[in-house]
């Protein structure tokens, strides 16, 4: 009788064998693990990346108000505040910034309940390391200002700054004078509070990372170092436009900013020259942290390129001692306190013909 040929046995462990028991245990373990993960995910314990980006801009304030991480320092029951930490614990890093959404300022006010009238904020759980006045030169850009307030208020609170927002609005029809408006913002903010740091920001520039802290450093700080408009880099090494921060002492050392740049361009290069000529250097965040977006727009009327700018930039060292804070003249027309900012309308005087 011929025997049937032996077939190779299939790779399935025999029931009852120890290998079979191990396999059963592993399958059971995987099923339990998957079920727990699924339940956790569906109950919202895990955020997907899209939710994370969306939420981290506006809802953070509520998180911030309700939580007390160990890094927040509360000294004792008498509530004497300790200094806020050097690295603010609520920062979230990269932010999604877009300008297709419509912004309702009433909603921004509602979602930033800790911001006081005039756009003032002071951390409740720790003593801010710096008192920062944010100065925005302005004329007819209400739509841009809405985005600025919507994005910046939550960021500045997460950065644990004691801050105030000042929109310096140029009255009348004379040619725009950005640097003079910044000087005026400095003077007016100081009348209100003893700020020790001044952040000068264009109204159309929004940071894309909240680790780019809007505060002052041991050297004058350039914050908008990686703008989408310039392909996320500097247009040239000496560029100091967009958003910058100077301490009170740094600002005074350079006699403030020039008052004589009417129209677009050059004033930021003059400020750079002032800083360098006083022996200071520029501090900057890295190109990732310093990413920011600019709201696209047409050039404003009465802000045409200043034909005198090249000539003026060449003479900064000669002019800076007599043109600046010590020669500043202006008239305040109106001061308005809004829930999210203080608007100061000023007459900067006539532009030269
Ligand atoms: C102007 C600056 C301007 C820069 C970038 C320069 O030519 O003088 O004021 O910020 O270009 O646009």
Question: For residue range 73-130, what is the model confidence (pLDDT) as tens digits?
Answer: 444 455 789 999 999 999 999 999 999 999 999 999 999 999 999 999 999 999 999 9
Instruction: Say which range, 52-61, 139-148, 149-158, 195-204, has the weakest mean pLDDT.
Output: 52-61
Q: Which of 268, 269, 270, 323 is catalytic?
A: 268
Residue 244 alpha carbon to ligand 1 centre in Å = 14
Whether 236 has a pLDDT exceeding 70, the answer reads: yes
**Distance from CA of residue 226 to its chain's centroid?**
13
Q: Tell me the backbone φ, ψ of residue 150, rounded to 5 degrees.
A: -60, -45
Rounded to two decimals, what is the model's pTM? Answer: 0.82
**Which residue, 161, 12, 142, is CA-closest to 90?**
161
Tally Cβ neighbours within 10 Å of residue 226: 23
269 lines ligand 1 (CB under 6 A): yes
Residue 264 alpha carbon to ligand 1 centre in Å = 8
DSSP H or E run through 166 = strand 162-170
- 294: annotated active-site residue: yes
- 297: annotated active-site residue: yes
**For 2-125, where are the E strands, in sequence order?**
120-121
**Max alpha carbon distance in the chain (Å)?**
121
- 204: annotated active-site residue: yes
Tally Cβ neighbours within 10 Å of residue 190: 14
pLDDT at position 14 is 67
Atom of ligand 1 nearest to the CA of 313: 8
Note the pLDDT tens digit of each residue in 293-345. 999 988 888 999 999 999 999 999 999 999 999 999 999 999 999 999 999 99
- Residue 332 DSSP class: E
For ligand 1, atom 10, which residue shows the shortest CA distance?
241
**Residue to mutate (ligand 1; options 224, 235, 305; most atoms within 8 A of CB):** 235
Residue 262 alpha carbon to ligand 1 centre in Å = 14
Give 59-94 as a DSSP string.
THHHHHHH---TTS-B--TT-PBPBPPSS-TT---B
- 299: annotated active-site residue: yes
For ligand 1, atom 11, which residue shows the shortest CA distance?
265
Q: Is the dihedral of CA 146, 150, 152, 153 positive or negative?
A: positive
263 lines ligand 1 (CB under 6 A): no
- Residue 197 DSSP class: E
Higher pLDDT among residues 51 and 108, named by residue: 108
CB 292 within 8 A of CB 150: no
HEC profile for 230-289? HCCECCCCCCCCCEEEEEHHHHHHCCCCCCCCCCECCHHHHHHHHHHHCCCCCECCCCCC
């Amino acid at each position: 009788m011929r025997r049937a040929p032996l077939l190779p046995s299939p790779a399935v462990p025999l029931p009852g064998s120890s290998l079979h028991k191990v396999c059963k245990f592993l399958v059971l373990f995987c099923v339990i693990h998957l079920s727990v993960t699924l339940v956790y995910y569906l109950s919202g314990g895990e955020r997907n990346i899209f939710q994370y980006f969306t939420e981290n801009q506006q809802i953070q304030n509520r998180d911030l108000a309700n939580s007390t991480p160990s890094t927040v320092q509360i000294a004792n029951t008498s509530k004497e505040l300790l200094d806020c930490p050097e690295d603010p614990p609520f920062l979230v890093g990269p932010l999604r910034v877009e300008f297709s959404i419509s912004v309702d300022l009433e909603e921004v006010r509602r979602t930033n309940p800790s911001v006081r009238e005039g756009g003032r904020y002071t951390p409740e759980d720790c003593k801010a390391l710096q008192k920062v006045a944010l100065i925005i030169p302005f004329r007819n850009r209400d739509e841009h200002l809405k985005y600025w307030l919507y994005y910046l208020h939550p960021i500045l609170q997460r950065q644990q700054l004691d801050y105030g927002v000042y929109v310096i609005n140029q009255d009348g029809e004379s040619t725009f004078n950005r640097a003079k408006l910044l000087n005026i913002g400095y003077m007016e903010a100081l009348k209100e509070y003893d700020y020790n740091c001044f952040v000068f920001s264009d109204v159309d520039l929004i940071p894309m990372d909240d680790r780019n802290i809007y505060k002052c450093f041991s050297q004058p700080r350039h914050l908008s170092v990686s703008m989408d408009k310039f392909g996320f880099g500097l247009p040239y090494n000496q560029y100091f436009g967009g958003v910058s921060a100077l301490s009170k002492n740094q600002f005074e050392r350079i006699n403030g900013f020039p008052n004589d740049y009417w129209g677009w361009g050059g004033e930021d290069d003059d400020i750079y020259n002032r800083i360098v000529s006083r022996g200071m250097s520029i501090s900057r965040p890295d190109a990732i942290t310093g990413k920011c977006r600019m709201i696209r727009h047409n050039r404003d009327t009465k802000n045409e390129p200043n034909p005198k700018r090249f000539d003026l930039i060449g003479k900064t060292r000669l002019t800076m001692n007599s043109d600046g804070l010590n020669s500043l003249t202006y008239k305040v027309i109106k001061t308005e306190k809004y829930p999210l900012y203080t608007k100061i309308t000023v007459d900067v005087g006539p532009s030269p013909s």
